[in-house]
Chain A
């Protein structure tokens, strides 16, 4: 009985070690390059609702904002319903910043719309991105490690990521929280445009999951 017990313990140990090795390999494989602040932002080319292909490289020399969007998500509704997102888009596109809204909802999932409907929504919300890009297979979203809608990224003229994270520091669906929140994107852009280092270069994003 005793020997048997010892044997099963050893078996467990071997099994556990094997499991661990497999899991390590698996995690090493998934540890693909996420977008990391301070490093080059991953390159991409996506088709916009305008039918044209847009590449990150074509905006070299300009500040670029990436905004993950899903208009059926309550967190996105918070920032569009209150006009908070549109205000930011207007303010910075007027200063020459490129604003790319990206929709990574997979076909059949929440927030996935054909280009014409997506454009109609943009119009209805009075949003003014430079372009709305469609990423139905989620390649770009996963390359950037986009987790939530909204999830915000700021890229400097040299193509370096200078901000990644949430739109502000008040995780909620309550639009009343916007007034008291610290808007990380607004702050990062105004600091970067003034030639200053970005004080809060990353934060925890909050929102709905991206519907990959």
Chain B
């Protein structure tokens, strides 16, 4: 900080040696002092986070703080600047209002670290005589998302520095500036320990504007006023939880409305209208209203205290028109919600679900199980038709009940407020590990390593002696369970729609899906004549059965890759080691539990096999625990994917920022376990023509990775009427409605969509 700055009152740093060094003007000096402090801190109190400490400036204390006491390599976290203000003094929001100046941060961070923009919590109106400012009083943090380099190692330190300047005012104003630093130790603690500032970070995050999918916002132009109108989507009560008179709009643009003017609000049965006075010094019409709408205590459905507004302003309603004709929606991403609901009817969804269920039988997860089952059936084709029919029904019941249980769990969790969508089970690494073991075990069974006892084979194909109805039921359950990794990617959109319906209709869609899946088997049972159309059983059947192990193994390979995306390379190692133990156990059992062995050897072999299998599964599950969640590392911001595209991580804030400056944005909602997504991405992005078409238009590429649970992405999906991936959204220039592309992409579709944005 040059000493010659012509400011009357810069902040004086007197509290700690680090800040003093910063004030003397050398970052190097500050860093050296920091080092000493760090060494001391590490020596005296191992594990305590060293902090650069607060800086005392006139009327305000300023400090760089982080949400965490230690960070993990490559994992984004929130840092920010803390202002603790003297009573009656304030600092400003991004738009300061009639006077004042927003605080500014200029960061110096190590290579490979990315720093986001300030996420502005909603401000308060601060009246100064006849003027109104937008700002903050008391103690606040302005949060900034930091992504540290993935190459950091535990034991290292991430050093952040920011030059902050701000204006602090009561009625008179004093500018301040300071060089602030923050050193954060890197560790592999999971979850990372939160800092003493975590509660304040949480409080600030609660004040960030959110998107409001349940609300529609329209804006209309009158002579000297602008009218902001909120209506509920599908009868959602707009004002549930909002006290009349507490609405307050904070404009993002400084010259659109009169800051000091009252914002009269009228409340009717179908919504609320907020009247804003157009800036008297603005001659041009206001084309777009952008900003933050605040209400007390909060907006439905989740009591958000603030929502983001970005809406085109239209001419005032013609007489006789209805608001519905002209309604545009709030946060830009929520626009197509109504349209999605309107175009997919329940009947269509039922047909699609049944067809999808039918197709599931040919997926690599299900086909082996089902085909083996069918050929076992062929062997018994001589059986009583009545018995056959009963097997068909019981199998169908197994499938349907399994689907109902899955859907029931999902609906119940969603009703409980969990941000889950179809495919949620694959977001759990533990579930993925169990699926891998199940598929691997089934494959070994098909290869002939074991085929007696314990049920696996009974489940997979061999109907036990006698009636064997339990076996048929179990086959239905097993087919559904092994089908889940395949349903999620292929059925995502249809099931996503189902989840937007009332529970009864949603269950109907799931029923159609199960019925479709059970149909071929049931048909074979009901019309035994059809069995004769199948090839005769023979030696080839054994070959066929063994061949079917490989689609299962392929599915397991794919799930191992998914697991790696979710939980990192350690989890892969643990799972593979666990599979090795399982294979060893099963081999021992096959080798030493054969009928010709003495009974003691046989029971010992059984026991050892069981122990090894359980040990293997435990190894797989526990390795996940030590590695923790490493999602996002593979797609770290700024890195290029295999097609050479530099994706940025999706967040509503990033999207809003890009949209604010009119940058076209493509959002790819995807997940590692979503095969459709991977196929789409390959079809589209392997084409140089498409990559060029994106590049020419300077389209910002955002990737919303739903591989692991992410409530923000779930909310964004919901705003488009979806509850699963894939989803592709293309935003054009400022004010354009986003285009939602189909779930199955072709190059032509993408090029056409791009052509529309110019």
Contact = CB atoms under 8 A, between A and B. Distances in A.
Given A12-B267, A23-B264, A74 B99 contact: no
B379 interface: no
A148 B5 CA distance: 23
A212 B127 CA distance: 12
A95 B255 CA distance: 32
A208 B281 CA distance: 19
Contacts of B173: 73-75, 208-209
Interface stretch (A24-32, A118-126, A128-136, A179-187): A24-32
Interface stretch (B164-172, B296-304, B571-579): B164-172
B244 A16 contact: yes
A87 B5 CA distance: 20
A74 B175 contact: yes
Contacts of B165: 172-174
Interface string B228-250: 00000000000000001100000
A175 B96 CA distance: 20
A74 B131 contact: no
B171 A24 contact: no
Interface in A25-61: 26-27, 30-31, 34-38
Interface in B274-330: 275, 277, 280-283
Contacts of B174: 74
Contacts of A21: 264
A63 to B, nearest CB: 19
B130 A31 contact: no
Nearest to B260: A30
A103 to B, nearest CB: 15
Given A77-B8, A147-B131, A204-B254, A72 B266 contact: no
B264 A27 contact: yes
Interface string A194-212: 0000000111111111111
Contacts of B175: 74, 173
B310 to A, nearest CB: 19
B639 interface: no
B275 A74 contact: no
Interface in B98-154: 98-101, 128-131, 133
A77 B174 CA distance: 11
Nearest to B173: A208
Contacts of A77: 6-8
B244 A36 contact: no
A26 B277 CA distance: 12
B261 A74 contact: no
A166 B400 CA distance: 70
Contact of B262 (A27, A38, A147, A203): A27
B6 A172 contact: no
Contact of A74 (B8, B133, B265): B8
Contacts of A31: 224, 261, 277, 280
Nearest to B268: A13
Given A74-B7, A208-B100, 8 more contacts: A17-B267, A19-B244, A24-B275, A30-B261, A35-B281, A72-B172, A206-B96, A212-B129
10 contacts: A13-B268, A21-B264, A23-B263, A34-B281, A37-B283, A77-B7, A147-B131, A202-B283, A210-B131, A211-B171
Interface of B: 5-9, 96, 98-101, 128-131, 133, 165, 167, 169, 171-175, 224, 244-245, 254-255, 261-268, 275, 277, 280-283
Q: Which 4 A-B pairs have the closest CB atoms?
A: A23-B264, A209-B99, A173-B175, A34-B280
